[in-house]
Structure 1
Amino acid sequence: MEIKQLFEKDIDRNINGVIKVAQDDEALIQQELSEYVVTRELSRHFADFFENYAAAIDVPTDKMGVWITGFFGSGKSHFLKMLSYLLSNREVAGQRAIQYFDGKIEDPLVMESMRRAVGVPTEAILFNIDSKAGHWKEGAAARTALLRAFTRVFYEHLGFFGADFRVARLEAHVDAKGKTQQFRDAFARISGGDWLQDRESYTFYEDDIVEVLGEVMGMSEEAARRFFQQDEDEAIAPDALVGEIRKYVERRSAESGGDFRLLFMVDEVGQFIGEDVNLMLNLQTLVEELGAQCQGKVWVMVTSQEAIDKVVKVAGDDFSKIQGRFNTRLTLSSSSVDEVIKKRVLQKTPEAAALLEAAYQEKAPVLKNLFTFENSQSDLLGYADGDEFQQAYPFVSYQFKLMPKVFAEIRRHGNAGKHLASGERSMLSGFQESAQKVEHRDTTALVPLWHFYDTLAKSLDYEIRQVIDRAERAAEDGLGLQPQDVAVLKTLYLIHYLKDVAPTLGNISILMVDCMDADKIALRQQVKGSLERLQRENYIARYGDSYTFLTDEEQDVEREIKETPIDSSAVVEEIRKIVFDSICGAKRSHRLGNSDFAFDRYVDDGLYGQPQSGMKLNVITAAHELSSADEEVLKLRSADKALVVLRSDEDYYEVLQNAAKIKKYARMQSGQISDSKQAILKAKAKEAENASKEAQRILDAALANAMVFVNGRLLKPPCSRGADCLVFVLDELAEATYTKAKHIGAPVAGWADVKAILLGGYQLSLPGANDDALKDLELHLEAQARTHGATSVADLRRSFTGVPYGWSEADVAALVAQLVLDKKAVIEVGGQPLEPSDPRAFDALRGTGKNAEAAAVRKRERMGEEVLVPVRHLLKDLTNNIDVPADEDGLVAAVKDYVDGTADRLQQLLQHYAAQPAYPGKAVVQDGIRLMEGIKAEESNAHSLMQLFAARKNELLDFDEDFEPVQGFFPNQQRLFDEALHLVDRMRDEAEYLEAPEAEAALGQVQDVLAMDSPYGRVKDLSGLMAKVRSAHEAVLQRRRRALLDHWEEVQAELLDYAQQKGQAEAFTDAVKRAVTQRKEDAAKADTINRIEALESQLGQYRDNTVVAIEEAVERHEAQAAAEASVAGAPSRPASAAPAPAPQPKTKELRRADVCPPTKLTSEADVDQYVEKIRHALLEALRENGAVRLKG
């Protein structure tokens, strides 16, 4: 039986694959209605729509908008058209539209709602908005384009010329007057034409129309001509348009017996609105006005590829209003595309269905084996059962899943392809035409995927068709291709943009299956040959195990990429990154047990990253000479390292080489690049990225299957993953390289444990577990001691973290700390040994702190008794302490304490001498400091310290003997010594006033004691001697003070008496008393004789100054009195007659100290002579001046 005989309906009949709302051919409409498939999805949409629509028949509503959403080709236009046929109760081929739905709608309630709805007189205005208003979307009219479209179709529905509003308004005016036929007749008579045919060119009939208007409408010529002056593009306002629609509906309702509906059914509104907010708001305003004024008698139903909230961003209340108007929202999909196709195109006769089901039962295992895809979507399957087989035959179920996506992607990626519908309409054509290609084959035939290419070829971009056409010509002419190669090429194009099916050899072979009895192995070989020829001729490209279709431009780019030279080092570098960064995880060290081992990473002998000076892991690729070397060579070459020789059936090197070529080619592109080439380069970049991922997969498998050689041994890693293989190799390499790593039996947990060991607070969980490691370290220090002495901590760390130990830095530090604690090693900083408790010791081991570079470790040397015994005895003598430590460390510490303590005390005493150089014993202190500092210089070396300490025995004992009285002086004798110094200093100017000889002798003795180098035995005498001096001095001071006070009393009395005599007592009495009182208080406070003498000199000066002041006051008083008397006695006497004042005698002021100079008088003759000199000086001054005044 031929395939064409299986179908219930003729497979060759004409099926309108694309529905257009403007199509009005009755035969096509009959086919649409009779073959319309109401799927489960459409049943729900019919139910939802008619529920809302029927409810509005009885109850007025303003919710009269319907928004039908569905992507291009989903059947939304078909659905809208079906609603128009149904609601307008259209009669087609002798049947009403609803009769065609008998049996299509299973729910009787839905059918009842439909019958009730179609019973209401209804007129449907069905139109594609772009065809009615597309020319208005440009220029000034763009903002009102949607309103103009509604105005146009409404006028056209009324029979007017809606394309020109000026003409339409004229026709409406004439019609309102009931003179339409009269107007048309007059136009025919006057112009000789037909109005309906000529109205589009009305401007050429201006004179005729003016005459017709004058005749029919009674208009003047001037008024008629103003009609031609109107703006032909002037749009009607929304409320005015709605007003006209309302009046029309009211009139039709009256004519229909009270009920009538007018429907605006608009196709592709969403596409028309696009991103124009104004158009969306126009639609909202119009629908809102229609709802408010017409109350459900006018409905607006629109289709859109996008949901209402996706068409354009309308904010806030405006969006809410739009949603409110379009209360009925239906969303169509192509999810049931197979249901439509199977019923309209592939419906079988009962006999054929039974035959096919029986055939399936026989072929089921074969069919399941034929259609098993690899690395693809799980819903790409063959047949689930016999029923699915008979419904889909001659197609395979996966094609119903795949083809909608093929159509959608071709439409998305191509300009011409944008005219393809990806829903059931074009799918109908595709499946029908593909079935027709096999209609004469027997019932074992199947439709391969490539047949669909021919159904859509005319809609493809030229550059795509050109590639296929060129391949067909090449196959026909035998130029590198065979006919079956073209079919493979078509298949690759169809899946070119899909992610659902991987374009591998296996999957392509499945897509090429055209018979249930196909030999899958033979077909695979045939397809493989086609792929190789297509790749060789540059029609396709291969990336790993995937193949891809190339356009002409892509072929050019592919050819240039293939010819791009690439250095093999770039490929190897990429392998390094994949192996060590992606698969290995960018590790620079490997953990085995408790240790981390650094390793150097190589690929084909080339180092990757910075050297770690650790283990060496070398991965050998197919590009290296060792990849083909025999086993013995590889064993030799793996000495002290690991060799991992990659093994793979897939060519990872070629994959990465192609990716590298793509990247290099892309970098080389410069200047202006076309958009299409940019798109190709972008796709190529993605291919390179995918190639890198594919190479990683292959390399992972290659590592898992690699030949592994470690230190001359061939190993077989028990691994299934590359990462596990590398872990295995590094484990083996670490054990072969770090042979002494296991000497650390009990590693420390961290640096806190190291500090605890130094402080003696840590104990190993396994005693003796680290003995081997401690022995290794001790032997190393011994060897260093024989040649270098101390070993820097940094060198020690490098030695024991490296080969063959591999210990952690913390473990190395812990071992050193243990040796220090066991008194087998010493930590030094700058040559100075550190105690374990010293924080610097821990810093030195950790390599931190400012002295880290100077830190070293030295093997400790033990001192013999010949050194320790003399030191022990000497220290007992010096400290007067019999409890001197017996052990070496204690004795060294005690010596250091003595030397350091003594040096500190001496330094403190030296400060006393800085403040008072007269203190005794300074030389002893200075000598002691020099002695102690000399010994301290050897404290960094305990052995040298002890030897020097013993060698300085005599000096130390002498110092100890000399220093003892110095220590006793401070502070016990220091106070008396200070008092004596103060007294001597005070008596320096007072000694001449001491009258007692014994006092002068005592002062001399005090000065003798202070001048002694070792006055310690005489200091006790200073107290008595100082008492004698103070007593004698105080006696003289008291006598002189009393004499001074008496003298002041005399001066006060003398001055007060003199002031009284001169009549100036009132002016001077208080001042003199205050001054004398102050001078007496100063005398009482004076504690030196010198001060008393100073005050005595002030007495005479004060007396003289005060006498002069009294005399001057008297003179001023007398002068004033004389002047007043003169004025009073002779008021009229002229000033020129006043007597001349009497001449005043000149007064000579002499200092008393000059007249009476200090001197020592020892005889009566001395007194006479002294007085005579005074007398002579005074008389001489009197003769010369007439008056003499003694002062101070």
Structure 2
Amino acid sequence: MIKNIFTQSINREIETVIKADDKLNINTEIKEYVITNEIAEKVAKLFDAYNNAEKINGVWISGFFGSGKSHLLKMLSYVFQNIAVEDGLKAADIFASKVKDDEKLKENILIASQRPAESILFNIDNEANITSKADEKAVLSVFYKVFYNHLGLYGSYPHIAEFELWLYKQDKFEEYKNIYKEQTGLDWIEARRDYFDPEVIEGLENSLSILFKKDASKYEDILDNIESKQEQSPVDFCNKIQDYINSKPKDFRLNFFVDEIGQYIADNTKLMLNLQTIVESLATTTNGRAWVFVTSQSDMESLVGDLSKTQKNDFSKIIGRFRVLINLSSNNVDEVIEKRLLEKKEQYEVELASIYENEKALLKSLISFSDTGLKFKEYTSTTDFVNKYPFVFYQFTLFQNCRIELANHNAFQGKNAAVGERSMLSVFQQVLQEVENNDLNALVSFDLMYKGIENELRPEVTNSIRTAQANLTDEFALKVLKALFLVKYYKQFVPTKRNISVLMIDNIHINIKEHEAKVENALNTLENQSYIQRNGEVYQFLTNDEKDIETEIKNTDIDDPQINNLLKKLFFDEVIRESKLKYLENKQDYEFTQKIDGIIVSREKELEIEIISPNNPDLDNIDILKSQIIGTSTVRLVTDFNKKFMDDVRMFLQIEKYNQLNQSTNNRAEVKRILHEKVVANNERKALLLAEADAILANAKVLINGEIIEVPSRASGRDFAQSAFQSLVKTVYPNLRMLGSVVYTEDTFKKVVNNIPVDELFQTDDIAISEAESEVLTFINRRKRQSERTSLNDLKQNFAKKPYGWYQNALFTVVAKLYKKNKIELTNNERILDDKLVQNAFLKTDQHPVTYIEVETEFDSKQINQLKGIYQDLFLQNSTFSDAKDIAKDFQVKLNDLLQEVIALLNRKNEIPFVENLQDFKNDLVHLKNQNYAYYLTNGKDFEDAIIDAKEQHFDPIKAFVKGTSFTIYNDIKLMVTRHTANISYVDGDEFQILKDFLKEPKPYVGNGLQKAKEAKDTLAKKVIELIEKERKEAIEKFNQAIDNLKQNEFVVQLTQEQLNAILKPFNEKIAELNEERFIGNIRNASSEIRNLSTTALNKAVKLTTPEEPEPVVQPATKPTTSGEKTVNTGTVSEPKPVITTPKYINRNEIKVQFTKAELSTEQDVKAYVAELEKELLNQIKNNKRIAL
């Protein structure tokens, strides 16, 4: 039996929960303490720091439930004080002996224990009854209290303790207690609790009177005085600690061991800072001889991490103070349990090892979880199996994590609701006791862990289990329910049927098939009765509220349209994901109708994809399903029956509907949480449904036209539907083969229209009519016989349907080929379209209804030959085409070319006025060019003579005139008339009039008018040049004569050469200008300037040769006199020296004669005018003026 294999009784009392203030089992605790590899590694740093570091005095030990932090704290308090235990051993020696393979750590432990020290170990929450956490000095008050208590003082009341400390320092405390007992008969330790009792106070006064030999009245108010004056502070506290340390041997240390400080100060910045101040002050005051060890569920970073930025800054020093950080991870909890509880007797170790070696493969197969979720570390060796037996490797880690998540979800009750009170060791011991009578093939099933924590759980959490215990007749189902409860909140473990089966294995030789069937039956029972819920493959325990809501959800009505809508979303919207699929042979998309179980769930199209879902009542009658689609354009994808899938579909819809109906702000927080989790789980269910729908569709049967079509299974439902769709298109559209293997695009029909070669399209015979082209022609002719015109729209609608299924680009390419073979023509508003317009008609959808296709008209040879003759006469060349339509279209192109030439000439109307003669010709060309090609073949007589005559009589001669040398002569004549008029007016003769008359001719390009005009132009040009030269010569001679006259003047002869050059410069400049001047009028005007230039030159010469007249000079007086308030200058004015008066030249034109008549008409008038002229001339002479003639 299992109970016999252990070295120690599994029913012995083991102190499994370590409490800091429990000192009754010190010997057992120290002896049974296990130093795991993790603890050894992390305390090594602590002992090294304790022995060597200065200014470090803070140790922060963190870890969650079961990590052993409180146990380690307690052991360290024993080791550093090195207390004695039974058998004369010391705590440090025992502790060091437990260290394996680390001699340095052993040495440091023993070195630390040799330093004299005392330990103050306490749980701060238990000791904080003297103050409130609202008090920012609450932590300090507790430190005072435990220090007082350590000295044997009454720490619960600080003023009593302070009174006792006063006596303690004087080494009189013990003497006082003795005197008090003698005086009152009471023990002071008991009496002080009633310190307010008058008898206690009287005894205190009398005892102090005797102790200090003073009057008792002196001590009447001693306690009140101490209480009123007492003020606790970090400085005062640290001074007391320092005084105490100084009273001890050298190197003595006082160490505080504070359990669960993290919970006490969490979220309270003031308490955090209070702790930091205490630790920092102790370090400074005692020079590192007072250490503080604390434990916390949270590590330092987590504790600070929840604070605001400001609080973090305030609290930053505490991190620096607690420099030794020990974070215990609970990873080695199995090691502790193995050593304290599961250590085996030697003979059973051998037997178990043999069992493992024989059953190793079986165990690996049995204890094998599915690939989803957390991966557990399996047995590492035979020894590992032996050490853990009868527990299985996964149970240590899994139970620990499940316990943590239950705590996080407020599952526990009582003082330690955050973590639960019972340790892992306690739970495992109780489970062991449950299986103690089993044989060595037995294993522990995970559900047994529930009993170990059952009494700690909140009643409302376990209502469902209690209900199940009262109502379930299947005991195994109840065990499964307990296992599911344990793993409920641990998300990394995925409770699938396979994984639950593993949890429930309780024997090495279990029949796994029977076991899994038993598990499945239990799960079905629990699900049907709403103790659990299933989401896909995952099962989940339901709390009482969850159970009620689950029942309500299952009772929520869902109708068939809702189911069909969800199936449509799953299969069509999510799996197939398209409203059209590609036919791979021509790379074209074809739209299709979506149907679910006979219900259309999309817009109707010619092709149909119908999914026969697992919800269809005829699913098992394939013959009915086949017969229903004979002669239709439907492919049926028949899925396999899948009850679980449909159950999940209904559950998804029920949860969705229930959640919508039950959203209310009045819901309890628990209900809101459950609904939220339901929605989250439902989203996960939706993803699972989608994956399942994909798999279901990928393995469906394919029915087309009443037959089962073999389509291989595909990796996805979308690929499978695509494959089935290929068969449907081939069946419904047999005439698709007429299009061949070419993939038609817009570019294809564009190239055909524009005569650009297309690979694989005209490889055989460009003239022959293909099968596809024949089908189109037949359709057009059939409608024509029925007096119906055929538009592009009509073609699209007919050939898109079965049996064709032709897509637009392919159809338009066929039409374009017929068009280029002149088998059809396209019209719009009775206008036959050319290549460009045909292409536009194809490309623009709005043109499809109004673009009609007509079968090509036949023309006789006479019509063709007539057009060829007009072509040759009009364009002086033969057409290169032989087909009537091609010749006509070529003719139209040539007409347009001719029209463009005419327009180009007309655009030069301002430059060449006579091109206006082409306007009528242009209008005729425009009219003719805008006719359809058939007009040229049928109406040649109507336009032949007029268009050819106009070309020969006007266009040809004008074109020849403009492009030849005649046009250069014409432009020279025009230039002479417009630019040389100024000179021509001085020339005698009729040449100029001849030129002007020529330019007015309406047809200068006809006759010999151009030749006569050229002769007149040449004669006129010669005359102008000769006259310009004559006028220029005479003018220059006049300027030279004026220069000679100046040089003889009496003043000019006195000038220096430089002065002479200056006054003659204007004359020389004018002569230079005359040499360049081309206009006769300007030359003549230049001669008129000689008089003014000469007068100006003479005056300059006079000025340069005659001195200026001096100004009169005023001589200053020798003495000024004053008359009244004004000063009078009495100086004299000297007479200027006599100088010669300077003459001035004027032009005779400047002489103004005072004469009243406007003309001289009589002899008397002449004499009178001459008299006045003489008078004015003499007057000017008298005024020293000289008159230049």
Normalised-by-shorter TM-score class: 0.7 to 0.9
Matched, 1:670 2:664: yes
Secondary structure at 2:343's aligned position in 1? coil
Partner of 1:21: 20
Of 121, 124, 127, 2:122 maps to 127
Residues 1:65 and 2:62 aligned together: no
Deviations 1:33-68 (A, max 9, x none): 232233333343454444444xx2xx5623343332
The 3-state SS of whatever aligns with 1:125 is: strand
The yes-or-no answer on 1:715 pairing with 2:709 is: yes
* 1:685 and 2:679 correspond: yes
The change in CA–CA distance for 1:958 and 1:521 in structure 2 (over 3 A counts) is closer
Is the contact between residue 411 and residue 417 of structure 2 (CA under 8 Å) also seen in structure 1? no
Matches of 2:645 and 2:448 in 1, distance apart? 35
Q: Does residue 624 of the first structure (1) align with residue 616 of the second (2)? A: yes
The alpha carbon displacement at 1:644 in A equals: 1.1
TM, length-normalised to structure 1: 0.74
Aligned counterpart for 2:925 among listed residues 922, 932, 947: 932
Distance across 2 between alignment mates of 1:1014 and 1:771: 54
**What is the CA distance between 1:832 and its match in structure 2?**
6.0
Instruction: Answer yes or no: is the 8 Å Cα contact 1:792–1:855 preserved in 2.
Output: yes
Q: Deviations over 1:132-157 (max 9, x none)?
A: 34875643x33x44444434333332
1:392 CA displacement: 3.7
- 1:460 is aligned, of 449, 454, 457, to 457
1:289/1:510 CA distance change after superposition, 3 Å = same
1:711-742 superposed Cα distances (whole Å, 9 cap, x missing partner): 32213443264425324322322332343445
For the 8 Å contact 1:539–1:555, the answer to whether it is kept is: yes
Alignment of 1:391-406 (within 5 A): 391-406=387-402
Q: Given the superposition, is the C-alpha separation of residues 984 and 320 from structure 1 closer, same or farther in structure 2, using an over 3 Å criterion?
A: closer
Percent of aligned pairs sharing the same letter: 27
Shift of 1:776: 1.0
Alignment correspondent of 2:233? 235
Mapped to 1, the partners of 2:448 and 2:413 lie a distance apart of 17
Asked if 1:958 corresponds to 2:949, the answer is yes
Residues 648, 702 of structure 1: 8 Å contact kept = no
Partner Cα distance (2:518, 2:1002) in 1: 128
Matched, 1:175 2:193: no
Give 1:244's aligned residue. Answer: 240
Taking a change above 3 Å as real, the CA distance of residues 336 and 846 of structure 1, as seen in their structure-2 partners, is: farther
- The 3-state SS of whatever aligns with 2:14 is coil
Alignment of 1:984-1063 (within 5 A): 1016-1017=1006-1007, 1019-1020=1009-1010, 1023=1013
Paired with 1:773 and 1:623, the residues of 2 have a C-alpha distance of: 53
Inter-partner Cα distance in structure 2 for 1:781 and 1:134: 106
Q: How does 1:903-942 map to 2 (within 5 A)?
A: 903-910=899-906, 922=916, 925-938=918-931, 941-942=932-933
Cα deviation 1:276-324 (Å, max 9, x = unaligned): 5555555455444444554553333222323333321498999886555
1:271 aligns with 2:270: no
Partners of 1:889 and 1:522 in 2: how far apart? 89
Match in the other structure for 1:562: 554
Per-residue deviation, residues 883-921 of structure 1 (Å, max 9, x unmatched): 87666577446523442244334445555667898x5x8
Partner of 2:9: 10
Partner of 1:1137: none
Question: Alpha-carbon deviations, 1:625-649, whole Å to 9, x = none?
Answer: 4434442442432632111121134
**For the residues of structure 2 that align with 1:245 and 1:914, how far apart are their CA atoms?**
120
CA contact (8 A) 1:187 1:194 kept: yes
1:660 maps to which of 653, 658, 668: 653
Maintained 8 Å contact 2:447/2:482: yes
**1:453-474 C-alpha deviation (Å, 9 max, x unpaired):** 2221111111123322233233
Equivalences for residues 143-182 of structure 1 within 5 A: 144-181=137-174
The answer to whether the Cα contact below 8 Å between 1:122 and 1:263 also exists between their aligned partners in 2 is yes
Q: Structure 1 442/51 Cα, relative in aligned 2: closer, same or farther at 3 Å?
A: same
- Which segment is superposed worse, 771-780 or 433-442? 771-780
Question: RMSD across aligned C-alpha pairs, in angstroms?
Answer: 5.9
Q: Are the aligned partners of 1:701 and 1:720 in contact in 2 as well (CA < 8 Å)?
A: no
Q: Give the counterpart letter for 1:312 in structure 2.
A: V
C-alpha distance in structure 1 between counterparts of 2:637 and 2:387, whole Å: 56
The correspondence for 1:305, drawn from 297, 311, 330, is: 297
Q: Which amino acid aligns with 1:692?
A: K
Q: Which residue of 2 aligns with 1:645?
A: 638
Q: Give the SS at the match of 1:21.
A: coil
CA separation in 2, counterparts of 1:170 and 1:771?
128
Cα contact 1:489–1:549 (8 A) shared by 2: yes
Three-state SS of the structure 1 residue aligned to 2:35 is: coil
In 2 relative to 1, CA 18–802 (structure 1 residues): closer, same or farther, beyond 3 Å? Answer: farther
Deviations 1:107-152 (A, max 9, x none): 372444433332332211112233334875643x33x444444343
Aligned residues: 1069
Q: What's the offset of the Cα at 1:785?
A: 6.6
Q: What code does the residue aligned with 1:577 have?
A: K
Q: d(CA) in 1 for partners of 2:916 and 2:766?
A: 58
* Partner residue of 2:71 out of 78, 84, 87: 78
The one-letter code matched in structure 1 to 2:116 is P
Q: State the match for 1:1058 in structure 2.
A: none
What CA deviation, in whole Å up to 9, does each residue of 1:64-97 have, x standing for no partner? Answer: 4333232222111111211222222222334432
How far apart are the structure 1 equivalents of 2:792 and 2:132?
Answer: 85
Residue by residue, what CA displacement relative to the aligned partner does 1:353-378 show, whole Å, maximum 9, x if unpaired?
A: 44445556676676566544445557
| 2:734 counterpart of 1:739 | yes
Contact 1:597–1:734 (8 Å) recurs in 2: no
> Alignment partner for residue 604 of structure 1, among 573, 583, 597?
597
Deviates more, 1:793-802 or 1:102-111: 793-802
Deviation (angstroms), 1:652:
1.0
What SS is found at the alignment partner of 1:616? strand
Residues 435-455 of structure 1: per-residue CA shift (max 9 Å, x gap): 222334455554433322222
Superposed displacement of residue 805, structure 1: 5.2
TM-score, normalization: structure 2?
Answer: 0.74
Structure 1 residue runs of 5 or longer lacking an equivalent are: 476-480, 1046-1076, 1093-1146, 1156-1173, 1179-1192
Structure 2 residues without counterparts, runs of 5 or longer: 1036-1069, 1085-1153, 1166-1189
Q: Which moved more, 1:121-130 or 1:243-252?
A: 243-252
Which stretch has the larger CA shift, 658-667 or 1007-1016?
1007-1016
In structure 1, the partner of 2:36 is 39
Amino acid at match of 1:262: L
Worse overlay, 378-387 or 547-556: 378-387
Matched, 1:104 2:104: no
Q: CA deviation at 1:381?
A: 9.1
- From 893, 896, 907, give the equivalent of 2:892: 896
Task: Give the CA deviation at 1:397.
Answer: 3.5
Q: Deviations over 1:851-886 (max 9, x none)?
A: 899888777667554333222222222334468766
Letter in 1 for 2:263: Q
With 763-772 and 492-501 compared, the bigger mean Cα shift is at: 763-772
Partner of 2:1179: none
SS for the counterpart of 2:234 is coil
Distance 1:823 1:187 in 2: 138
Q: What secondary structure is seen at the aligned counterpart in 1 of 2:154? A: coil
Name the aligned partner's letter for residue 233 of structure 2: A
Q: 1:111 to 1:1006 in 2, by over 3 A?
A: closer
